[in-house]
Structure 1
Amino acid sequence: MIFDTIAAISSPLGTGAISVIRITGDKTKELINDMFDITNPEPKKMYYSWIKEKNEIVDEVTWVYHKGPKSFTGEDMLEIFGHGGILVTKKILNLILSKGIREALPGEFSKRAVMNKKMDLVKAEAINELIHANSDYALKAAANQMEGKLSEQINSLKKELFNIASRIEVEMDYPEDFEVDNFEFLNSLNNIKEDLIYLYENADNGISAIEGIKMAIVGKPNAGKSTLLNALLRKDRAIVTNIPGTTRDTIEENLNIRGIFIRSIDTAGIRETDDVVEKIGVERSLKAIEESKLILFVLDNSTGIEDYDIEIYERIKKYSDKEIIIVVNKTDVENKFEIPWNYDIVKISASKGNIKNLEDKIYDKLKNLVITNELTLTNERQKNAVKKAIDSISNAIEGINLGLTNDAIMFDVRKAIEGLNELTGEDYTETLLDNIFGNFCVGK
């Protein structure tokens, strides 16, 4: 389908000043001639025209023709700028589609840009992440990848691997004329591996910045977990009552605290129960704890520490890899008590909205998990591709140390190159591209 012509509304569909419709493919110039009666438009020049259907005016527009390969997609491309009404925009699109042009799938313009080598897969993903950024840190991580420094680094490492592969192949073809210095290869492979390990070990920061950090709010029934979630959201999202066990399932909402994207999960009160529905909620609460990087352990100041609190503490203390904050809620009620556990303690009154000190503590706990630089990976696909390359290079290094033949070493070097090609999109399958670009918005 890469050779057909597609069209889509590229601006948000609604009432606004302007709308944008994109067309790309081999029928673009034919469409321009049909709609605007111009046969040879000058590329990159903005034209003014009327769009008509059966001699009736549809809209007054401006438009720009981009001649391939000097366009976003690498093909002939047209962008039409009309008035931003829903009805008029759809009418223009339908008029275009009536001329034998297909409506684009989500992300199909960017997909064509990758397939036509106008950008690599890393930059394409960065564009999508920039559009959907939920926080300042996500915006920065996406912008860093769009700048291209990561792609430059990957291409540089691939070039070094290609040089190694080429020299091994020459030695294999002309063993009497060339002698390969395996020590030099070993040194080069170790340097490449170190660079890739740096990318791999810092990937979680980029992934957290883009996808958000999971935070579980846990505690006994009626400790004020739902009230706290509502206070953090600045809206009534969770049902709040004085009846223990009101929240019977996990409730996930997105937060932005000081520029950090957080996926906050209000859990059901953890306790032993015979209620079948509540028991399922407790099981999901325990799963949320396992998946979260930060746990807010809510204690009820009006009751002090009870057996339920001790039971929850015994469950969460084993997670040494997680950040934990003890939140003493309902401090507007006089009932001070000692907390015997060695975690950061924050006192709040969620019902009064007095939670700024908690938000400050959450930020302090999470800020180092989202700091990124220009060489940070931003999704699991990229991380897995780098891991594949690291494993293959490790096998090549081991092969050299064991004295294996060069054809065995060559196999692993090629597998490492394949891993990096998967990262940038030079080796791809239609399924991979469909999975990636299926998450894009239509018209991008």
Structure 2
Amino acid sequence: MIFDTIAAISSPLGTGAISVIRITGNKTKKLIKELFDNEKTEPKKMYYGWIKDKDEIIDEVTWVYHKGPKSYTGEDMLEIFGHGGVLVTKKILNLILSKNIREALPGEFSKRAVMNKKMDLVKAEAINELIHANSDYALKAAANQMEGKLSEKIQDLKKDLFTIAARIEVEMDYPEDFEVDNFEFLNSLNKVKDELIYLYENADNGITAIEGIKMAIVGKPNAGKSTLLNALLRKDRAIVTDIPGTTRDTIEESLSIRGILIKSIDTAGIRETEDVVEKIGVERSLKAIEESKLILFVLDNSTGIEDYDIEVYEKLKEFSYKDIIIVINKSDIKNRVNFNVPWKDYDIVKISASNGDIRNLEELIYDKLKNTVITNEYTLTNERQKNAVKKAIDSVSKAIEGINLGLTNDAIMFDVRKTIEGLNELTGEDYTETLLDNIFGNFCVGK
């Protein structure tokens, strides 16, 4: 399939100023001649012309030819820029597909770029993460990956491992001419291990920056949880009424607080109930709490502490290892009783969600989460990368252990090679079709 020619709409399909269609493969130059009757096309130069189907004019366009291997995919490529209408764009694509050219699969352009060594898998994933970034920290983490600092670090580690492997190989072939320097091997392998452990231990920051942080809003029915979610979102997402138990299932929405992506979950009121539907909502609420890093425990200032609040608190005690903020809502309403929060181990903040008075809460949320998304110039950004690094750590640890136990060079060489394989898996130098299909299947068509 790598030898066929593919095409796809690369711009969002809809009404707009410009649409973009990309073509890549060995039939690209032939297609240019058929579409534009142009035989002397210079690469990287923009041309103007008309696209016609026989004698019927379809659109007035500009186009650029990229000669392989100096292109995104490493193959001959054509980019056509037309008017951004749904019908006209589809007509151009259908005309191209009628020339014995196949419609591209999701991410197939980037997949070809990896297979043709134009970029590694880390950078390809970063492109997709950059496209889908919806917070400042996600954008920064993806941009760092695209810049290539992580790829450079991995290549440096592989050079060190290849040097070690070469030394071991020579000593295996000429045991009488070389004396084994175990200290030098151990020193080099420990440096590689330390670098990999640093990457692994800081991976969650990069992953969190990309994927966001889960935050559960919990409390008794009618404490104002849904109103608080709406206030954080700056829009009406959850239904708000004075009837307790209106929210009977969890509602998840994404929001950004000072550049941090937060997946906020409005939970059903946690209480004992015989209602079958509400009971399912309570179970899902407890699951949301378990999966969240931060919990907002909402109390109702107008009622004071009630048995329901104590019931919720008893449930939260099981999750005391998580960050918990006690939010006293409806602070604009005078409470009927002396309001005294007995739980002093957590941060307490007063708000009025219905009035949008939540600035102090947003600042506290940011302070709680800001250190979980700090990304340096090279950071892992997904679980696949993290798992590959873990494999490399396990293998280099076995190599170090083997030297300390006095194992033979061939046993140590096996683990050094497995370490290199783990890093190759990270960058995509050792790939399978299944791996690439799984990764690029989540990409946009045309990218």
TM-score clears 0.5: yes
Matched, 1:206 2:209: no
Give the counterpart letter for 2:82 in structure 1: G
How far off is 1:306 after superposition? 1.9
Give the counterpart letter for 1:89 in structure 2: T
1:263 alignment partner in structure 2: 263
CA distance in 1, matches of 2:323, 2:164: 44
Q: String of CA shifts for 1:35-82, please: whole Å, max 9, x gaps.
A: 111223111111111111111211111111111001000000000111
How far off is 1:373 after superposition? 1.2
Match of 2:443 among 415, 437, 440: 440
Give the counterpart letter for 1:410 in structure 2: M
TM-score with structure 1 setting the length:
0.98
Q: CA RMSD of the aligned region, Å? A: 1.1
CA distance in 1, matches of 2:314, 2:181: 57
1:297 alignment partner in structure 2: 297
1:337 alignment partner in structure 2: 339
Matched, 1:400 2:403: yes
Matched, 1:354 2:336: no
Residue 11 of structure 1 aligns to a residue in which SS? coil
Residue 3 of structure 1 aligns to a residue in which SS? coil
CA distance in 1, matches of 2:58, 2:362: 52
Correspondence 1:379-390 to 2 at 5 A: 379-390=382-393
Give the counterpart letter for 1:148 in structure 2: G
2:45 alignment partner in structure 1: 45
CA distance in 2, matches of 1:54, 1:35: 10
Q: 1:66 to 1:379 in 2, by over 3 A?
A: same
Matched, 1:429 2:435: no
CA distance in 1, matches of 2:195, 2:320: 29
Give the counterpart letter for 2:431 in structure 1: Y
For structure 1, the 5+ residue unaligned runs are none
Correspondence 1:16-415 to 2 at 5 A: 16-335=16-335, 336-341=338-343, 342-415=345-418
Give the counterpart letter for 2:396 in structure 1: I
Moved more, 74-83 or 305-314: 305-314
Moved more, 179-188 or 70-79: 179-188
Q: String of CA shifts for 1:192-246, please: whole Å, max 9, x gaps.
A: 1111111111111111110010000011111111111111111111111222221
Q: String of CA shifts for 1:379-412, please: whole Å, max 9, x gaps.
A: 1111111111111111111111111111111111
Give the counterpart letter for 1:323 in structure 2: D
Residue 317 of structure 1 aligns to a residue in which SS? helix
Residue 236 of structure 2 aligns to a residue in which SS? coil
CA distance in 2, matches of 1:168, 1:320: 51
Give the counterpart letter for 2:28 in structure 1: T
CA distance in 2, matches of 1:31, 1:180: 61
State how many pairs are aligned. Answer: 444
Q: Give aligned-pair identity as a percent.
A: 87
CA distance in 2, matches of 1:392, 1:349: 54
Moved more, 48-57 or 19-28: 48-57
Moved more, 234-243 or 190-199: 234-243
